[in-house]
Structure 1
């Protein structure tokens, strides 16, 4: 009436090291079935929601039922990327705390295509995205017209030039080119066109001139 064989034991299932979570470190006393790993975020970050993983019966680390994987979100934003022809008015800091508002200012001759301000949101995102910001060239209107002449050129953006010419029988007086300035105005003064004139006609022997 005796059982043969050595004593049997039931051992708890064990899990591997808890998985890595970006910007967080796990802490756990053991890694056996039912044990809990607690995650702690690095400075400047906080947990979005769940902070735990459980060692389950299959030897896997899983979040509690109905919970997501631990995730650390930033309390700061990285310095916004540079925008062509702009200056970041809020200094040259490498990081900005959540809630910070920074402003862009365009260099001379350029204007913003949208709001100049963006805000650092909790989670490390800028709102609106800096990628939506552009500094576009100032535009001038039609160049001033001149009597008996015309302007050549189709680009009316900051820094562009138009050239003035006179109609046949007229000559130009003044600066022939005008530039679109940062103010949105064409450089002045505008040239003028004057009639071409001739000297006295030559005299002819034994004749006379009628005009």
Structure 2
């Protein structure tokens, strides 16, 4: 294009010279990112030796070369001004800010703005290099979450009057008799919100107590047992309780032990309390019972059998003795009653103490009383 302009200008100048005129230079040509100064733009004619000045366009700055060219009469000297993009330099870094300069710092470049952990960007997340410098205002603001909410029948560990910051952990716990429903802690995260909702505290309840064979429990309510409620167990007559006689509902809704069982009673072994010297046969049995002490002499079952035999022998001997005593007692009692019956129907003489034969009389006198005993002088 420059060649066409110079060719047209040269043809015009040649025509002017043939007619005896001295033509001006044409309007100076502009290049990419190079323009005439305002003063040069105001000129309408460019006679020989006229000088004009160029400047770099907005956003560019001189790299090298001369800003001026001169009219030689019919053409301009060759301009050699070189312009380059403006360098905005490294952008200002504010506290807790991270700048990601991937495109450089020249005109048109952009920089991504982020913040350190615990902070978030306020304003623009990018800065762009313009002719006037970096455009895009931003800062890093501390991330905080709302003060944690209270939980009914429980508490949390946050006691500060300030709001929790990013990464702060708030622990939750429940009062005695209540169990935590949900996570035990929440964390303040990057957007100023917690990672989850706060937990709740629910009353501790256990399953209804299970029934046991040959026994019963004393829990009669239709409601499930709550924390520290006790369930008492007992067995039917002839059965013995094996295990704990009562269970306690504990956190988190379980009993402190397994339910007991009822086992049928075995034959009880009577306890002998002999304070006097027993019968010789009993003594022999007792000595035999005392001699059964060493379990190594026989198997455990054999020893137990021998002991049971001795005990049975002792018991049978005692029963025989008691039977004999009772028999003697009843015979004596029968004879005594029979003797009283005979004497009540017959009269017999009774001699009073100190009396003679003449002073004896019937045991059961008639209506007339006996004469009074003579008084001894």
TM-score (norm 2): 0.31
**Whole-angstrom distance in 1 between the partners of 2:35 and 2:74:** 25
- Structure 1: state its 5+ residue gaps: 1-22, 24-40, 46-73
Deviation at 1:144, TM superposition (A): 0.6
The residue aligned with 1:112 is 62
1:169 aligns with 2:169: no
Relative contact order, higher structure (CA 8 A, sep 6+): 1
Q: Gaps (5+ residues) in structure 2? A: 1-9, 159-377
1:192 and 1:123 map into 2 onto residues whose CA distance is 59
Structure 2 Cα separation of the partners of residues 191 and 138 of structure 1:
22
* Distance in 2, Cα, partners of 1:140 & 1:96: 37
Tell me the alpha carbon deviations over residues 4-57 of structure 1, each in whole angstroms, 9 at most, x when there is no partner: xxxxxxxxxxxxxxxxxxx8xxxxxxxxxxxxxxxxx86449xxxxxxxxxxxx
Q: Structure 2 residue aligned with 1:146, among 94, 100, 108?
A: 94
Secondary structure at the aligned position of 2:130 is classed as: coil
Is the CA contact 1:44–1:76 (under 8 Å) kept in the aligned structure 2? no
**Given that residues 28 and 76 in structure 2 are in contact (C-alpha distance below 8 angstroms), is that contact kept between their aligned partners in structure 1?**
no
Deviations 1:51-84 (A, max 9, x none): xxxxxxxxxxxxxxxxxxxxxxx98655443211
SS at match of 1:158: coil
Q: Distance in 2 between matches of 1:143 and 1:44?
A: 59
Once the 2 structures are TM-superposed, how far is the Cα of residue 202 of structure 1 from its aligned partner?
A: 4.4
Q: CA RMSD in A?
A: 3.5
Which residue of structure 2 aligns with residue 158 of structure 1? 107
CA distance in 1, matches of 2:154, 2:89: 57
Structure number having the greater strand percentage: 1
- Find the partner of 1:195 among 125, 135, 142: 142
- Larger-gyration structure (1/2): 2
Which SS does the other structure have where 2:134 is aligned?
Answer: coil
Structure 1 residues 201 and 96: CA distance shift in structure 2, 3 A: same
- Secondary structure of 1:208's counterpart equals strand
Indicate if the aligned counterparts of 2:88 and 2:106 stay in contact, CA closer than 8 A.
yes
Residues 3-82 of structure 1 mapped to structure 2, 5 A cutoff? 43-44=16-17, 77-82=25-30
8 A contact 2:96–2:116 mirrored in 1: yes
Shift in Å, 1:177: 2.5
What SS class does the counterpart of residue 121 from structure 1 fall into? coil
* 1:120 shift after superposition: 2.7
State the shift of 1:136 in Å.
2.4
1:159 CA displacement: 3.6
Return the alpha-carbon distance in structure 2 between the equivalents of residues 203 and 93 of structure 1: 81
Tell me how far 1:186 sits from its aligned partner: 2.2
Secondary structure class of the residue paired with 2:114: strand
Question: What is the TM-score of this pair, normalised by structure 1?
Answer: 0.51
Partners in 2 of 1:118 and 1:180 — Cα distance?
Answer: 32
Aligned-partner Cα distance in 2 for 1:120–1:88: 14
What SS does the corresponding residue of 2:32 show, helix, strand or coil? coil
Alignment partner of 1:134 out of 75, 82, 105? 82
